[in-house]
Amino acid sequence: MSQVTSFPKADIKILLLENVHPVAAEAFKAEGFQVEHLKGALPESELVARIGDAHILGIRSKTQVTPAVIEAGRRLLSVGAFCIGTNQISTMTANHRGVPVFNAPFSNTRSVAELIIAEIVMLSRRLGDRSREVHDGKWNKIAVGSHEVRGKTVGIVGYGHIGTQVGVLAEMFGMHVVFYDIVAKLPMSNNRAMSSLDDLLAVSDFVTLHVPETPQTKNMIGAAELAKMKPGACLLNASRGTVVEIEHLAASIKGGFIGGAAVDVYPDEPEANSDGFASPLRGLPNVILTPHIGGSTEEAQEAIGREVSSSLIKFINTGATTGAVNFPHIDCPVAKGAHRILNVHKNVPGVLRDINRIVSDHEANIRAQILSTDPDIGYLMMDLDNDVSLGVKKAIAELPTSIKTRILF
């Protein structure tokens, strides 16, 4: 069960699949690691055959990192998901094997915010309809129903990473910004917090949704909420498809109450680009439909490459797990002139007592010690004086509760 890993940087092997952005490979090479960079995903059997040597596996959304893949990763230290979601990875198996998984949840924040700003202007000028008409050879030069966004109010539901960016950008356009969040948030610039969703719906010319998918946000905007919006107001959803009851949105637009919508996410999204797309919103006036591309920009891909590679490099070099999706979070500057022991162990009573006994038996001087746990594992980071560190590491690694133990020189 227990595994000891301690090696020079040049021996660390990184296996990158699915054409991860080249900035990641460059960052790993700059650290002196070996990098193998493949264009496509690998099926499970091939990945199982190849992962044995890899210390780091980098994937995007297509590679299935199954329990068999993780078990076959004898040397695997960590998995990097160079994307947002981690559903394709057996994160619990990884947790039980002492393998943190990192992703890049916020690298495409700005891309989504910019799309929303563009769409607010597009909806205000009914650009989707005008563009479609001109493409169809119809010259419909009208000003009726076309507005500037200056002085209008945008209501942001979910004032997190994306919501706050939208708020800042909208103000630059001269818009008033109100927001509603279940958590108290510091307003950016002149953005104003509303005490309820209803209050926000009542004053907003544009309502834009930036909440996560949770039981509370499922069908958060249905017939009742749409009816509380200002007549002619527009709804934008680039969050998750389950947040809006799409049939009710379609009905409200058809009935002429809601003035338009920009939708990027749907309750049922096609799996592949070649699959067809059906939605009650298709063909409706002043409705912009996009295929879940809110965060899909080359800049976001590059930012993801940087963010995930830097998390992985920091984990390799210091053991820091901040941001890992399946692991206790620990980060601490490495004490000067000390060796660092990193130990992942089963979260059972008595582990710390055993470790402290080993430390005391070796008369080791601890410079820093941090332990963080989740229901199944504990992660210990301990900086020790150099003279005894190897002996302490060996003894800790041999504990029956230890899952993975590394030493950093």
Interacting residues with ligand NAI (CB under 6 A):
84, 106, 108-109, 112, 157-163, 180-183, 210-214, 216-217, 238-240, 264-265, 292, 294-295
Question: 269 or 387: whose CB is closer to ligand NAI?
Answer: 269
Task: Report the Cα 202 to chain-centroid distance in Å.
Answer: 32
CB of 328 to ligand NAI, least distance (A): 20
Nearest to 241 by CA among 294, 199, 285, 286: 294
Work out the burial of residue 246: count CB atoms within 10 Å of its CB; fewer than 13 is exposed, 13-18 middle, 19 or more buried.
buried
* Comparison of 147 and 185: residue with beta carbon closer to ligand NAI: 185
Residue 339 catalytic? no
- Catalytic residue flag (residue 210): no
Based on CB atoms, which residue is closest to ligand NAI, 181 or 383?
A: 181
Calpha distance 60→86 (Å, rounded): 9
Shortest distance in whole angstroms from residue 185 CB to ligand NAI: 6
Residue with structure tokens 């960052």? 27
Q: Catalytic residue at 21?
A: no
H or E segment to which residue 221 belongs: none
Outline where DSSP puts E strands in 109-167. 153-157
If the CB atoms of residues 1 and 182 are measured against ligand NAI, the closer one turns out to be 182
Considering the complex, state which of residue 99 and residue 154 has its C-beta at the smaller distance from ligand NAI.
154
For residue 104, the minimal CB distance to ligand NAI (Å) is 10
DSSP 302-371: HHHHHHHHHHHHHHHHH---TT-SSS-----PPPTTEEEEEEEEE--TTHHHHHHHHHHHTT--EEEEEE
Write the DSSP string, 158-213.
S-SHHHHHHHHHHHHTT-EEEEE-SS--PPPTT-EE-SSHHHHHHH-SEEEE----
Residue 237 CB, nearest approach to ligand NAI (Å): 9
- Residue 49: CB minimum distance to ligand NAI, A: 34
Q: Which of 147, 292, 306, 367 is catalytic?
A: 292
Q: How many helices (H) and strands (E) does the chain have?
A: 13, 17
Active-site option among 46, 133, 269, 299: 269
For residues 312 and 14, what is the distance between their CA atoms, to the nearest angstrom? 10
Residue tagged active-site, from 240, 339, 340, 406: 240
Q: Which residue is nearest to ligand NAI (CB)?
A: 160
| Active site members | 240, 269, 292
